[in-house]
């Protein structure tokens, strides 16, 4: 995107958020795993930061977000505390979910983040339900549901979108297309013309955007959000980006061509692209470096503080556990 008509302050804010997301994953999440503070898998979104930053820039705290197993960036950009998120990943007291959800199931109802989901595509029907509730309540809120390209080959994709179109729900479905479904190139296992075409076939307005251009994403979602808030029907956004890491932090991604990730970084890294936009608009290299260093420092400090936080008290293990509706009690 050129600097013509560029909103400098918005552009700076978008870059700052992308820097924070990347620093959170590189300086906190992956560092914690390296130091064996996180024992399970981390699903990084390095290279995909523009999608989170561009979309969330247009949402309020009251709007609803549903995300995927690769949802750190979405959650942070929606307004969640980086410290509470890191405590959650480490299973510590004060985590977003009390230390019980971890990376793949992070949620923060206080900022409208209904939750990440470890089941591919499962959040689509949940999002449709949330949007239906909003419509029944008459609230002027919208729902944004983000899923990966692998989800379009699962049943909930059809079910959720069909339901949203039939009932004209205030929801934006976003396919964050990083080109890989776990360890398989999505194009090799997807019939037809892909995500946007499938949504359009159900009568939904479908827009495709460069998923590495944070300005274009912010502009596109601003228009979509305005239509939804004005009572418009649900819409679909296909944002094509690239997953720089393997499926998880443990995955060496040997199924990809050897230089593919490096070449994508050179051509399409969203942070580098936004820096270039801001330089063209008059921002100094010193200010750019300051944004980068501040994000790095924040997340290094976040990991340190989270690691110093105690684990939850043992009695909290029995909190948040459903204790009604047992078939043994209800049926007999």
Q: What is the 3-state secondary structure (H, E, C) of 137-168?
A: HCCCCCEEEEEEHHHHHCHHHHHHHHHHHHCC
Whether 92 maps to a domain, the answer reads yes
Q: Could you tell me whether strands 235-240 and 205-210 are parallel, antiparallel, or unpaired per DSSP bridges?
A: parallel
pLDDT at 298: 98
The pTM assigned to this predicted structure is: 0.93
Closest by alpha carbon to 98, among 331, 323, 315? Answer: 315
Is the predicted pLDDT of residue 2 greater than 90, yes or no?
no
Is the predicted pLDDT of residue 25 greater than 50, yes or no?
yes
CA–centroid distance for 173 within its chain: 12
Whether 26 maps to a domain, the answer reads yes
The dihedral built from the CA positions of residue 102, 56, 80 and 96, taken in this order, carries a sign that is negative
Whether 187 maps to a domain, the answer reads yes
Whether 138 maps to a domain, the answer reads yes
Give yes or no for a contact between 179 and 185, defined as CB atoms under 8 angstroms apart.
yes
Check which CATH number belongs to the domain holding 245 and give it: 3.40.50.970
Into how many domains does the chain fold?
1
Q: How far apart are CA 222 and CA 299, in angstroms?
A: 29
pLDDT at 40: 86
Is the predicted pLDDT of residue 4 greater than 60, yes or no?
no
Q: How far apart are CA 200 and CA 207, in angstroms?
A: 9
Whether 275 maps to a domain, the answer reads yes
Whether 176 maps to a domain, the answer reads yes
Whether 319 maps to a domain, the answer reads no
Whether 324 maps to a domain, the answer reads no
* 257-276 pLDDT, tens digit each: 999 999 999 999 999 999 99
Is the predicted pLDDT of residue 330 greater than 60, yes or no?
no
What domain range is 54 assigned to? 8-307
């Amino acid at each position: 995107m050129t600097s013509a008509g560029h909103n400098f302050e918005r552009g700076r804010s978008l870059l700052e958020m992308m820097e924070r997301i990347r620093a959170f994953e590189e300086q906190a999440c992956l560092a914690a795993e390296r130091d064996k503070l996180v024992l399970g898998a981390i699903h990084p979104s390095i290279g995909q930061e523009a999608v989170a930053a561009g979309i969330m820039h247009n949402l309020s705290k009251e709007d609803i977000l549903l995300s995927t197993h690769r949802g750190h960036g979405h959650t942070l950009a929606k307004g969640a505390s980086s410290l509470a998120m890191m405590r959650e990943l480490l299973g510590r007291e004060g985590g977003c979910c009390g230390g019980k959800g971890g990376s793949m199931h992070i949620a923060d109802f206080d900022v409208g983040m209904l939750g990440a989901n470890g089941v591919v595509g499962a959040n689509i029907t949940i999002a449709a339900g949330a949007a239906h509730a909003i419509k029944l309540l008459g609230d002027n809120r919208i729902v944004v549901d983000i899923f990966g390209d692998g989800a379009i080959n699962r049943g909930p994709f059809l079910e959720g979108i069909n339901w949203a179109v039939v009932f004209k729900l205030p929801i934006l479905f976003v396919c964050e297309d990083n080109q890989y479904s776990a360890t398989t190139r999505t194009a090799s296992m997807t019939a037809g013309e892909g995500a946007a075409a499938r949504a359009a076939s159900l009568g939904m307005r479908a827009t495709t955007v460069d998923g590495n251009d944070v300005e274009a994403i912010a502009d596109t979602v601003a228009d979509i959000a305005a239509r939804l808030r004005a009572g418009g029907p649900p819409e679909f956004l296909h944002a094509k980006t690239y997953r720089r890491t393997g499926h998880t932090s443990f995955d060496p991604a040997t199924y990809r061509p050897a230089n593919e990730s490096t070449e994508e970084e050179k051509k399409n890294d969203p942070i580098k692209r936004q820096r270039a936009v801001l330089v063209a608009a008059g921002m100094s290299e010193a200010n750019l470096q300051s944004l980068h260093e501040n994000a790095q420092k924040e997340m290094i400090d976040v990991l340190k503080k989270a690691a110093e936080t105690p684990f939850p008290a043992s009695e909290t293990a029995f909190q948040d556990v459903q204790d009604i509706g047992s078939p043994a009690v209800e049926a007999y």
